[in-house]
Structure 1
Amino acid sequence: MLNRRHLLGAAALALVLSAAAGHAVADDAWKSEVPKIRVGILGGENEADRLTNYTCFNDKLEAEFGVPVELYPAADYAGVMQGLIADQLEVAGLGASGYAGIYLQDPEAVEPLVTVKQVDGSTGYHSVMLVRADSPWKTLDELEGQSLAFADPNSTSGYLVPSFELKDKGYDPKSFFGRTGFAGGHEQGIVALLNKQYDAAVTWTSGVGEVAEGYSNGNLRKMVDKGALDMKDVRIVWTSELIPNGPEVVRKDLPQEFKDRYKQFLLDLPVKDYACFKATQGGEGEGFVPVDHSFYDIIVRMREEAASSRRG
Structure 2
Amino acid sequence: MKSALGAAASIVLLASFAMPAEADWRADFGTYNIGLLGGENEADRLRRYDCFANLMSEALGVPVELFPAADYAGVMQGLLSGQLHQAGMGASGYAGVYLQDPDAVSPVLATKNVDDSLGYYAVIYVRADSDFHSLEDLEGASLAYADPNSTSGYLVPRAELAQSGIDDETFFARTGFGGGHEQAVIAVLNNQYDAGVTWTSLMGDVESGYTRGNLRRMVDNGLLDMADLRIVWESNLIPNGPTVMRNDLPQEARELARDFMLGMKDSHPECYADTVGGDGNGYATVDHSFYAGIVAMREAELQGSR
TM-score (norm 2): 0.92
Considering only CA atoms, is the larger Rg found in Structure 1 or Structure 2? 1
**Whole-angstrom distance in 1 between the partners of 2:31 and 2:284:** 25
Name the structure 2 match of 1:222. Answer: 217
- Residue 109 of structure 2 aligns with an amino acid whose one-letter code is V
The answer as to 2:233 corresponding to 1:238 is yes
Change (3 A) 1:172 1:33: farther
The answer as to 2:138 corresponding to 1:143 is yes
Name the structure 1 match of 2:9. Answer: none
- Residue 164 of structure 1 aligns with an amino acid whose one-letter code is A
* Uncovered stretches (5+) of structure 1, i.e. residues with no partner: 1-22
The answer as to 2:11 corresponding to 1:25 is no
1:108-257 pair list within 5 angstroms: 108-257=103-252
Q: Is the 8 A contact 1:205 1:217 kept in 2?
A: yes
Alignment RMSD, CA only? Answer: 1.1
* Uncovered stretches (5+) of structure 2, i.e. residues with no partner: 1-18
Name the structure 2 match of 1:301. Answer: 296
Name the structure 1 match of 2:83. Answer: 88
- Residue 295 of structure 1 aligns with an amino acid whose one-letter code is F
Shift, 1:33, TM fit = 5.1
1:70-85 pair list within 5 angstroms: 70-85=65-80
Q: Which has the higher helix share?
A: 1
The answer as to 2:29 corresponding to 1:42 is no
SS at match of 1:213: coil
**Whole-angstrom distance in 1 between the partners of 2:224 and 2:263:** 31
Name the structure 2 match of 1:63. Answer: 58
CA distances 1:20-49 after superposition (whole Å, capped 9, x unpaired) = xxx9433x1221453211110000110011
- Residue 126 of structure 1 aligns with an amino acid whose one-letter code is Y
Q: Is the 8 A contact 2:146 2:197 kept in 1?
A: yes
- Residue 283 of structure 2 aligns with an amino acid whose one-letter code is F
Shift, 1:55, TM fit = 0.5
Shift, 1:262, TM fit = 1.0
Runs of 4+ with >4 A deviation: none
Shift, 1:270, TM fit = 1.1
TM-score (norm 1): 0.91
Aligned residues: 288
**Whole-angstrom distance in 1 between the partners of 2:110 and 2:21:** 31
